[in-house]
Every structure is written in C-alpha cells, then in structure tokens.
Structure 1
C-alpha cells in the first residue's frame, strides 16, 4: 500500500520534533523522566478536563480544545526556557529547574484530582497558577544568588 505524501510529511515532522526535543533535553541536561511524567500528566489532565466539561454540560468547541492543547504544550516549554536561560548565563540552575518541574507536576496532579472531583460532585475546585509559583521561586533563588555573590 502506497502512503500518501501528507502522511509521509507528518511522519517526518513528528520525527523531527521528537529528535529536536530529545536533543534539547540532552544538551540542557534536563532529566527525561520528570519531563516524560509531566507530559503524561498533561495528557491525563486534558482528558479528565474534557470529561469534566461533558459532565458539567459546558460547551466543548474546537477552539477551546485547540487553545487547551496549546496551553498544555506551553507548560512543557517553561522548564526548557529556564534551562536555556541558565545555560546562557553560565549558571547552575539545576535546583531551580527541578523545583519548577516538580511544581508543574504537582499542579497537574491537583488539576486531575480537581477534574475528577468536579465530575463526581459537579462542584468546581479553585485553580492555582503553577507558572506564577515557579516565577516566585526563581526570583527568590536569583535574589539569594545575587546576595551571596555580593559578599
């Protein structure tokens, strides 16, 4: 069976993205296991969010789904941006990066549990912004780092 040119192009693009991300993680010395777990949790959160929306009879449009996917994928970019910034300035950000990834993982776990809770009780749990928490942690880390370097 001859494959269509579109499916060949999609396979090429997919493989290029996988190689690019893998190479970036290796170059930036980001542990692959937490990133993989975060990616899996993002998929589970997306699925449970769709289920919750269906149970609560909220509208599910292709636009909402598209923006939901994009926002979830952008969460994967946060640790990579932190690592690129650290590598650019020659600083060891391993601790800050690990904290950032862990906060994102905890945030996704909370979101999954919240989606399941809302599906069962039809009550919404309050959401919290993991990216804001990461920003505060990094800021605190940088302030401590700059304070130590002045002494």
Structure 2
C-alpha cells in the first residue's frame, strides 16, 4: 500500500485482477487502474503523479500515469517481482525480484534498467531510506538459519 501524503489518496494492489485500487478522500467509489500481471507492491513518485507496481507474474515494473490511469511503460526486472520502492534523491525505482535473488534499479523516465544488486535467495522486500536500499531475503541462509537483511548504498 502507498499513500500520497499531500492528497490523502491511498493505493493498494489487487493481485488477482491485475490492477491497483485508488481510494481518494472525497471519492464516492474507488478507481481501478490496470497494471502488469499480478502486482504485489505499489510505490509513488515523489510528486505523486506516477505509481509503480512490482508485477510478480510478469516479472516487470509497471510505470503508471495516475492522471491518465494507464501504464505508460513496462520494464522487465526479473522473475518474481515482489516489492517496489522509490529513491527520492534520484527518482529511480528499485524492484525486489524473489526468484532471481536480485534488486533491479530502474530509471522510470527512460524505462531502462540501470543496475542490478545481488541479494540472498528469496528476495522479499525493498525499502529506501537515508541514501540506502534495505533488502530482506527470506531464505533462512544466515549462519544460524536466519533470514538476511542487506544494505546497499545508493549513488546520487
């Protein structure tokens, strides 16, 4: 789920129906916005005009123009796209890919992959804060069978 702090509009993914659900404070009913195959996670651009969904079945990132209510770009990221986060400093989008054990870094304006970070097996979640990506890998492959948390510094 993502919330636009300025407007109070909330966005949630609808995995089974390939869409995100937009609930605006004054709307009488939700707006349904198409995405790629089986979205699991949604994030917003800093200006709140664009949404990004990690589409698990498709292994893609959908870039969604919220004014138009339509996907404007689809970027392949890797099998099992599970979680998405935005880097407010660069505007880049990060997608955690569970099956490929990677995080794909995307320039959403160009629709291109600009990097890939290798994580542990079963990459589950990505969060960006303080100039770093924090990535949870739910593999149980730590020294004592624990899951792992990775920290990747992000460039400007």
- Report the TM-score when normalising by structure 1: 0.29
Structure number having the greater helix percentage: 1
Structure number having the greater strand percentage: 2
**Structure number with higher relative contact order (C-alpha < 8 Å, ≥ 6 residues apart):** 1
- Report the TM-score when normalising by structure 2: 0.28
